[in-house]
Amino acid sequence: MQPNRMQPNQYGSRISGYINKHKVSLGLFLAAYGVFYLASVIMSEWRITDWGTDTTTYPPLVVNTILPRSIIAPLFFVTSIPALIIGATLLSLYCSRGLSSLTVENRERVSIILTAFGFGYVVIGAWPLGSIVNFPWEWQKQIANNGSLFTWGLYILGIVVLFVGAISLYRCSKIYHQKHPEFYLEQ
């Protein structure tokens, strides 16, 4: 009797099914990982131009590590950007696909999170068109010091997340008012 072996396409469909079932939790985990570690690297004044140099003169990272900072900062930077993008994409896909009257509550909450974070970064954080001298907070200057491609990439991601969240929130609101017309008519 031969052991039951899965075919490659069965394995891929199981992974795809797992991702579809846990899209929100995976998206939130990846986005939170990306934001936390990207912020810890940026706030420690590490820059892309410091890649490969010893950075012992800079303040320590938020996370204490055993490995030297010249290895950990680039590692956190390289892994946090894709995690942030993949997490935001998973959450955006969750909000924009399959919205029905049965799924409003969960998608509405994720839409609120996306709208809040997109709005927060676009309005408070980015300002990529301004002069670096005019930024009121130090962390804004540190983001801009990593180059225009990085700054504009975060800004565009913030705008996309804001629009996806706002549009899904609007769609959730319309479905809610269709399900509960009595609340709409009282006002």
- d(CA 108, CA 169) in angstroms, rounded, equals 6
DSSP string, 26-88: HHHHHHHHHHHHHHHHHHTT--GGGTTS--TTSPPPSS--SS-HHHHHHHHHHHHHHHHHHHH
CB neighbour list of residue 3: distance below 8 Å, 6 or more residues apart: none
Domain extents in the chain: 22-186
Examine the pLDDT at 172 and tell me if it is beyond 60: yes
pLDDT confidence band for 30 (50 / 70 / 90) = very high
Instruction: Please give the mean pLDDT across all residues of the chain.
Output: 77
The percentage of the chain sitting over the pLDDT mark of 90, rounded to a whole number, equals: 10
Element (H, E) at 149: helix 148-179
Structure-model confidence comparison of residues 16 and 26, the more confident one: 26
Question: CA 52: distance to chain centroid?
Answer: 27
- d(CA 142, CA 58) in angstroms, rounded, equals 13
CA angle at residue 184 from 181 to 185, to 5 degrees?
85
pLDDT tens digits for range 83-142: 999 999 988 888 887 766 666 567 888 888 889 988 888 877 666 556 666 676 777 777
The model carries a pTM of 0.74
